[in-house]
Amino acid sequence: MKLSDLQQWRDRAVRDVSMRGERKEWRIVVSMGTSGIAAGARDVMRALMDEIERQELENVEVALTGSLGLDDFEPVLRVEHQDESVFYGRLTPEAARSIISEHVCQGRKVERFVIGLPKERE
């Protein structure tokens, strides 16, 4: 067993347990289904990660999902912190950067992009 063999073993094994253990303080779920992609979710994702990197944040976890049930408002994402969930829609890369720099870094929601829950829209 070489150290590189161990690292490969770890890479294979980590997917099995990555779901458990401590969650990061912030969790952002980005809708990346076909309608999201067509509406520009990829560029929003790019801007999001770039801003996380720029702000040197270690406490944010990002996950992709097929759909958040808000197809009319794509690109859409959800910000989870403690027991609060905020939905953002009709996003631009600029909006994504503000979500990180204002909502995550300063606790100020970016009101003009906040949208209600899917249930509330019905």
Partner 1 sequence: MDEIALHVLDIGMNAVAAGARHVVVTIVEDVEKDRLEIRVVDDGKGMDPEQVRDVLERFSSDKAQRKRPIALGLALLRQTAEKCGGGLRITSTPGRGTQVDAWMRHRDYDRPPLGNLADTLFALCLGAPEVDVQCTHQKNGTVFHFDSAQVRQALGPGVSLQSPEGVRAVRRALGSRE
Partner 2 sequence: MPAYRSHVLLCAGGACISCGCLAVRDALEQELQRQGLSDEIRVVQTGCVGSCDLGPVMIVYPDEVFYQKVRPADVPKLVEEHFLKGRIYEPLLVKSPETDNLIATQREFAFFNKQFKIVLENCGIIDPEKIDEYVARGGYQALGMVLTERSPQWVIEEVKKSGLRGRGGAGFPTGIKWELMAKSPGDEKYIVCNADEGDPGAFMDRSVLEGDPHRVLEAMAIAGYAVGARKGFIYCRAEYPLAIKRTQLAINQAREAGFLGKNLFETDFSFDIEIRVGAGAFVCGEETALLASIEGKRGIPRPRPPFPAVSGLWGKPTLISNVETYACICPIIMRGGEWYASIGTEKSKGTKVFALAGKIQNTGLVEVPMGTTLREIVYDIGGGVPNGKKFKAAQTGGPSGGCIPAEHIDVSMDYESLAKMGSIVGSGGLIVMDEDSCMVDVAKFFMDFCMDESCGKCPPCRVGTRQIYGILDKISKGQAVVEDLTLLEELCMMVKETSLCGLGQTAPNPVLSTLRYFRDEYLAHIVDKRCPAKVCPDLVRYTIDEEVCTGCSLCAKNCPENTIFKVDGEKKYRIDPVRCIRCGVCYDVCRFNAVIKE
Which residues of the shown chain bind partner 1 in the complex (CB under 8 A)? 4, 7-8, 10-12, 14-15, 18, 30, 32-35, 37-38, 42-43, 45-46, 49-50, 52-58, 60-64, 66-67, 71
- The reply to whether 58 sits near partner 2 by the rule CB under 8 A is no
Per DSSP, the three-state class of 60 is: strand
| 104 C-beta neighbours (distance < 10 Å), count | 22
Nearest C-alpha neighbor of 26 from the set 56, 76, 65, 61: 61
Burial class (CB in 10 A: 0-12, 13-18, 19+), 42: middle
Give the count of residues interacting with partner 2 (CB under 8 A). 18
66 binds, among partner 2, partner 1, none (CB under 5 to 8 A by kind): partner 1
- The reply to whether 112 sits near partner 2 by the rule CB under 8 A is no
Task: Give the position of tokens 């408002």.
Answer: 73
Is the Cβ of residue 6 or residue 38 nearer to partner 2 in the bound state? 6
- The reply to whether 119 sits near partner 2 by the rule CB under 8 A is no
| Min CB(11)–partner 2 separation in Å | 9
| Min CB(111)–partner 1 separation in Å | 26
| 38 C-beta neighbours (distance < 10 Å), count | 11
